[in-house]
Structure formats: C-alpha cells, structure tokens
Amino acid sequence: MAVRAKAWTVVVPHDARGARLARQQLGVELEELIAELDGLIDAAMVVDAVAVVGELLGNAVRHAAALPGGVIRLECRIYADLDPELAADLGLDGNPDILELDTDLDGIRADAFRIHLRVIDGGANQVPAQREAEPDSIDGRGLAIVDALALRWGVERDEAGQCVWAELGPTPKPA
C-alpha cells in the first residue's frame, strides 16, 4: 500500500463557530485517513485528537488574540515514528515522514503512527499552562485534558504570536 502526504492546515475565524468548524474538519480528515490506511491508525487516537484540538481551539478563542485577519490556524500532520533499521529497509534514510513519500507500508506497525496538532493564534498575555481546577469550577481543565491524552504537548511563542501543539499516539501516555 502506498500513501501520499497527510498534512493539512485550516484557517478559521477566531470565534467559537470557527473553532467548531476546525474541529469538525479534523474529524473528517482523520476518519478518511483511517479508511485509507486500512486501520493502521487507531480510531481511539482519532477521538483523542478531536478532543485535544477542541480544548486547544477553545483556549485560543477564550484566552488569545487572533492572527491578522481575525483568524486562528489549525495544522495537522500524520507521521510514523519508525525504528531506524526499518526506515533504512524502506529506503527512507532515517526520515520518519513516511506519509510525505510514496512508501510501501508493509512492516510498519500501527503503534508507530503519530498525530501532531498545532493551534496558532496571535498570542496571549500569559503563557498557556496547566493548572489545578477546583472540583466545582466550570473551567480550567482544558490543558489537564490535553496532558492526559497527548504523549506530549508544549507552547512556542514569538513576536507573531503563539503555537500550542500536542502529539498523540495510539499507546497510553507513559507514566
């Protein structure tokens, strides 16, 4: 089986409606990917990715400024974290971005696939950080959810704004 690149970007208005549209588009794209890869990507990872991006987009709308033009950007990239020996056997010279090449996927385990999500906005006054929410709080749990579902996540900031990213895999986060 050979696959083409699986990376895409969607730009939506910096509001709740735009965040909903981006989240829905992610779900559609990932469902199509599952079908295309004949089950190599775990459906549970897709559900987690949609939940994570919902939290990241919601935070961008609530706490951050818009990018120029009043928008936020969602980027999604699918890749496989390959054993170097398998990558060499596939002729990838250690390049894990197999989905950006026409590559035969025979021998690639389902647990090698990763979903990398990036939500880019105009930045906020404070760096996004996980916090403890009181049991009766109605908010404040978003990044705790991201932390629980993602293998790792982080924040990149520069003069243009910020990017909050998360990477998901099919296996539970290491303790």
Any domain includes 1: no
67 in a structural domain: yes
2, part of any domain? no
Predicted structure pTM score: 0.82
Quick: pLDDT tens for 34-70: 777 766 777 888 899 999 999 999 999 999 999 999 9
Establish if 175 belongs to a structural domain. no
pLDDT tens per residue, range 110-143? 677 889 999 999 999 888 777 776 666 666 567 8
pLDDT at 1: 44
- Distance of alpha carbon 17 from alpha carbon 143, whole angstroms: 21
Which CATH number goes with the domain that contains 150?
3.30.565.10
Q: What percent of the chain clears pLDDT 70, i.e. is strictly above it?
A: 70
- Is residue 136, in this structure, part of any structural domain at all? yes
Indicate whether 86 belongs to any domain: yes
Task: Look at residue 166 and give its three-state secondary structure.
Answer: strand
Domain assignment of residue 174, yes or no = no
Domain count, the chain: 1
